[in-house]
Amino acid sequence: MPTTAIKNEAVERHARAIGIDESVRKTTCEALNLILADYHIYYQNLRGLHWNIRGRLFFSLHPKFEELYDEAALHIDEIAERILSLGFMPTHSLKDYLQNARLKETPTVSQDSAAVLALMDNIEKLIRYLRETKETVDAGTEDQLIGYLRAHEKTIWMFAAYLDKD
């Protein structure tokens, strides 16, 4: 995904001050724009699960999906701001997200356990993408991504326990 540098004196001065080589910043921002695209698809998938959930677990899953999409919205903002802080522009069009995201749209799911399984599939993929990405970025960005990893690992564990029939 092409990444556009922000070219102005203040941004360039800041970029020099943080001490990260321009090629590292560019590579990091290219990777973050992919993560940003994935998070937008994840967010929208969560909205669909939230809106369409039915069944005996509605009252527990409906607010949980909302909690997760609110968290995803925060992550989206943090990722975009990290890209900006590194002197590049975050992608912002739905077209770019759909073309570049590795995560795919989840079809409409209404049944409770199917919805949880669809969510777990999305999170497992995000975990994989975050792990791959953290190996290619600067230390500050790696730290940010590790925080997301920890949160997603905990969510997967909790939903696995939720589905446990014993």
Helix, strand, coil percentages (3-state) for the chain, rounded to 5, are: 75, 0, 25
Say how far apart CA 79 and CA 60 lie, in whole Å: 29
> Under DSSP, is residue 42 helix (H, G, I), strand (E, B) or coil?
helix
The length of the chain is 166
pLDDT, position 9: 77
- Tell me the backbone φ, ψ of residue 88, rounded to 5 degrees: -130, 170
Summarize pLDDT for 101-111 with one digit per residue, the tens: 999 999 999 99
Whole-prediction pTM value? 0.93
Mutual orientation of helices 22-52 and 58-85 as an angle, nearest 10°?
160
Structure confidence by residue, pLDDT tens digits, 68-86: 999 999 999 999 999 999 9
- CATH 1.10.3720.10 correct for 9-163: no
Which pLDDT score is estimated for 63?
Answer: 98
Question: What is the radius of gyration, based on Cα positions, of the chain?
Answer: 17
pLDDT at 2: 62
Q: Which two tokens stand for residue 24?
A: 């590292």
